[in-house]
Structure 1
């Protein structure tokens, strides 16, 4: 199917003309739907007429959330090029690796990056667009452009660009890389339309023209999935550039935020802050969490503090939509019947095919644990310039998630662990997430990371690193004993250390791989 997104956005602008579409909290930039439509027309004209990005060519974004919000849909759908999303917080070396792979024609970056990135980008043939006026010396450099000067000179008229929603690769995005170097996922427009539709099918998300959704995680990552449906629903996307929870709390209060997406590690810290110094969160109707499992015990504390406003979403870079959701009604602390479901990822979105497979790809019966496989319209087109990885991770139209899980008799999907985070100790399988949940159930524990470390007899031994809540004390022996009581002796940590911090990704996931690497250094084999 072919579509013209200038016309689509024009209709949205007519429908929601004076409603705020975009609010950049830190820069205090505000655009109504009418203004956002005209601005994104100009940006598309810059890409086509000035920078001359053509079909099959790529442009890369290395930007903060505020600036990313102007380069999202609809800008990218109003022109023929392919946008490459990156993580601003990645080091130059990682960006260089990504640029070498995708070979963008243009790079959009923050001004502070120009001095260190200029030589690398120009050596690879990239024009550079900076998002604030460069210094006189920077402006004199060949190939450097001022974004706002280009935009102000561009046309704001609707264009005649028509794109094939199934065949056109509108976006490239790198996987999180929690188990190694990220791969480059390819997206069609239909992938993102499936993301939009799933958000409306899951009615508990409550997206509408009244929505004011605050993005604090990078828009290049998971929170991007909420951007599309918020625009289509006529709501407001608000952005912050830094993961500063005190600023987040102030913004929720002052901007009357209704929705936000946070990962469990951030929610735990928010709980502590709200208990110590409450803010007015009366506007907040929906807190969406995902990207990592949450301890049912901690979830109960969150519901008691904030109310029954939580929705869990299960998704992935390779499947950018709500694959399954645990709705608000299921979040009932103290309810014995609901407690078991609190540890699930909810029920699959209607229309999404989720099944559990054995190592040969054969479907397993209800209740049996295997790899979660998914078929839906959001499944990506494969990995860019990586046919081997594409062949390895996709089978008969299904994405092999690498997540171990099962579906119970009520249709709830349970994620037991990542395949690569499974610990094999003395011949027994131990799932890190299960041990972490048992540790997090202790009132003194803020968060934990569990990994397998080398052991001469068992191959791997279960080991935990734990962060305590401020002012709390507990011994390692007490925590190990609690875990043994909950899970049994072979699953309990054989060693436990207290740490001040754990390595996390930019979206707040604990990076078990980095914890594990400390214990497997200089060994040829990294698992038992």
Structure 2
């Protein structure tokens, strides 16, 4: 099926023409729906006419949230070439690997990266476009706004196959290994928009003001189109600063936001935040990793019943599981507060054993997902595609089960299951128990080598500032909650845990320290 996305977007721009559509906090840019539609037309036309980006080409975005917002789906889906969204905060080594893998024709880059990146890019034959006037100018360097200035506001009139033409690429988070490159069609993105409108609880309207502090190149981008097509406003923040976030919520009257659990924990600890008026918040989405039930209770007491958990992945743009606000009120009594919520509308989930056979309801197995938002393959990775996809299902690598109400419980990552003395211990369960202790800010649990048991449960713990606790006390705390065999045998206290750019604990980095010299490895 062919689709002219610029025409689709144009109808919404007519309907909400003078409403505020996009606000970039740091650069203080504000666009109405009409202005944003015409600007993104100009950008899409500039890419085709000035940069000769055509079907089959790719361009990479090394951008902070405000500049990334200009090249997000409302721009990318209007054009022919594929937009490569990478995390601005990734390392230069990771960015270079991504460039060499996908070979972009053009890179759009923040000026702050030019000193380190310009020669690396030009040596690869890549055209470099910076987002602000360069100082000093460099030969071969293009200024984004100079390129856009003379471009037409007319509909780019590009027709793409909604199901087959790849227009956006994103790299997976890499929490369990080398990141892979997911590729998306228009329908993948429209599926994400459509599914959000089908749920019983509605999160997006003309009055929505959606604050993006998490990277819009990744998780936070899931709500961009859902907000836009309902006539709401997307607001971007570049720095992961919770005080600035709180100020932006107050001054911009923010209603919606996405925070990973790690940031919600920190939000509860920053005393100055109590002085800000955050009463406009009606929805805080969280996901990316499970939240400690004990800390969730504290967050609800602080912010009210505004929390909605979403479970999804780079490989599946739709919300696979949704733990609604209503669920958060009844979840303690039903035991479902620990779940990832009910399976989302239009999602096929099946739980399978090691051989791919579906297991009975209530039994733990690997979660497989199939829906419109599921990608068809990884880019240039037939081995990864064959290993992780089957008959349209994506093999999530998560272990879980479905209860009799259709609630999905995530037990752990498949690779993070610890087998000790013949018993299966799930790292996430132990981490939740540790984090429920008032002295613990965060924890990472891994299996470490043991001659007799194969592995033992080990924890690295970050203690909350101003608190004290012994390893023995924490071990007894976990024993009381989970039993003796699931409790850590050893605990190391650390000053920091390795986190991904979006705040996920990188267990593989913790695990690597203990397994690097072993001939038999886990994960």
TM-score by length of 1: 0.97
Residue equivalent to 1:280: 277
Residue equivalent to 1:107: 107
Cα deviation per residue 1:318-352 (whole Å; 9 max; x = unaligned)?
A: 0011111000011138x7423x1010000001221
C-alpha deviation, 1:523, in angstroms:
2.3
Q: Are residues 1:250 and 2:247 paired?
A: yes
Residue equivalent to 1:132: 132
The 5-angstrom pairing of residues 372-521 of structure 1 reads 372-521=367-516
The 5-angstrom pairing of residues 174-253 of structure 1 reads 174-253=171-250
Residue equivalent to 1:270: 267
* Counterpart Cα distance in 2 of 1:202 and 1:238: 24
CA RMSD of aligned residues (A): 1.4
Aligned mate of 2:347, from 334, 352, 372 = 352
Cα deviation per residue 1:434-460 (whole Å; 9 max; x = unaligned)?
A: 001111111222111111111121111
Q: Which moved more, 1:191-200 or 1:267-276?
A: 267-276
Query: Is the 8 Å Cα contact of residues 195 and 346 (structure 2) preserved in structure 1?
Result: no
* Counterpart Cα distance in 2 of 1:80 and 1:507: 29
* Counterpart Cα distance in 1 of 2:8 and 2:135: 38
* Counterpart Cα distance in 1 of 2:455 and 2:512: 13
Query: Is the 8 Å Cα contact of residues 165 and 189 (structure 1) preserved in structure 2?
Result: yes
* Counterpart Cα distance in 2 of 1:207 and 1:86: 26
Q: Are residues 1:361 and 2:385 paired?
A: no
Q: Are residues 1:79 and 2:79 paired?
A: yes
The 5-angstrom pairing of residues 20-39 of structure 1 reads 20-39=20-39
Residue equivalent to 2:143: 146
The residue matched to 2:248 in structure 1 has which SS?
A: helix
The residue matched to 2:444 in structure 1 has which SS?
A: strand
Q: CA 1:27–1:527 in 2, change beyond 3 Å: closer, same or farther?
A: same
C-alpha deviation, 1:5, in angstroms:
1.9
Q: CA 1:110–1:454 in 2, change beyond 3 Å: closer, same or farther?
A: same
* Counterpart Cα distance in 2 of 1:264 and 1:510: 10
Q: Which moved more, 1:466-475 or 1:489-498?
A: 466-475
* Counterpart Cα distance in 2 of 1:331 and 1:205: 15
Query: Is the 8 Å Cα contact of residues 246 and 273 (structure 2) preserved in structure 1?
Result: no
* Counterpart Cα distance in 2 of 1:320 and 1:437: 26
C-alpha deviation, 1:278, in angstroms:
3.8
* Counterpart Cα distance in 2 of 1:285 and 1:386: 41
C-alpha deviation, 1:203, in angstroms:
4.1
Q: Which moved more, 1:518-527 or 1:397-406?
A: 518-527
Q: CA 1:478–1:237 in 2, change beyond 3 Å: closer, same or farther?
A: same
C-alpha deviation, 1:276, in angstroms:
6.7
Aligned mate of 1:310, from 307, 310, 314 = 307
* Counterpart Cα distance in 1 of 2:217 and 2:299: 27
Query: Is the 8 Å Cα contact of residues 128 and 145 (structure 1) preserved in structure 2?
Result: yes
Q: Are residues 1:331 and 2:328 paired?
A: yes
Cα deviation per residue 1:230-272 (whole Å; 9 max; x = unaligned)?
A: 1111111100111101100110011100000000010011112
C-alpha deviation, 1:79, in angstroms:
1.2
C-alpha deviation, 1:197, in angstroms:
1.1
Query: Is the 8 Å Cα contact of residues 351 and 401 (structure 2) preserved in structure 1?
Result: yes
The residue matched to 1:324 in structure 2 has which SS?
A: strand
Query: Is the 8 Å Cα contact of residues 58 and 81 (structure 1) preserved in structure 2?
Result: yes
* Counterpart Cα distance in 2 of 1:351 and 1:170: 23
* Counterpart Cα distance in 1 of 2:444 and 2:272: 24
The residue matched to 1:416 in structure 2 has which SS?
A: strand
* Counterpart Cα distance in 1 of 2:322 and 2:350: 16
> Which sections of structure 1, spanning at least 5 residues, go unmatched?
none
* Counterpart Cα distance in 1 of 2:73 and 2:475: 49
